[in-house]
Amino acid sequence: MDVVKTDIPDLLIINPKVFGDSRGYFFESYNEQKFIEKGINYQFVQDNESFSAFGTIRGLHYQLAPFAQTKLVRVITGRIYDVAVDIRENSPTFGKWMGVELSEDNKKQLLVPKGFAHGFSVLSEKATVFYKCDNFYNPDSERGIYYNDPKLNIDWKIESTQAIISAKDKMNPEFDQAEMNFSI
């Protein structure tokens, strides 16, 4: 497993070692011991999976502390553009975002720690996204940021006319009005 640091500290791209031959492939998507050896120590307690059509944008989502979640995100089928926004108020990268393409082909994973809003856009006809969380879903602490906030200026890698957004995500506040309680 190869761990790639990004321009935003604590956001990590995980490249698992994939063994492939004429039969297909095998890889360990998660091995607690190997993650700990790389300095990544989380106890994951919940697995989530979503299925979405092309153009779907989910996010930007997070849970307030103390119910915040670290997420380890990967794609089972299809291709997405995965985005994380630093919402740790005293962070030098506060309000900055980073995106990476995750796909069934590249097998990359994104580690999104607590203190980040998370979302993704679907770039393929369909996509199945799987992610591990280190805290349980808590609807009372669930928050979001408007996906198309001009201050963030996120390039979702799809035309705005093709974007499919849930009614709930359309109601999220812009970055400057969003409730956040994170620090580093």
> What residues act catalytically?
61, 131
Distance CA 115, CA 8 (A): 12
Query: Could you tell me the CA-to-CA distances from 179 to 40, 89, 126, 132, 134 in Å, in that order?
Result: 28, 11, 32, 24, 21
What SS3 class is residue 79?
strand
Exposed, middle or buried by CB within 10 Å (0-12, 13-18, 19+), for 122? buried
Read off the tokens for 93: 């990268």
Distance CA 109, CA 15 (A): 7
Read off the tokens for 68: 């915040």
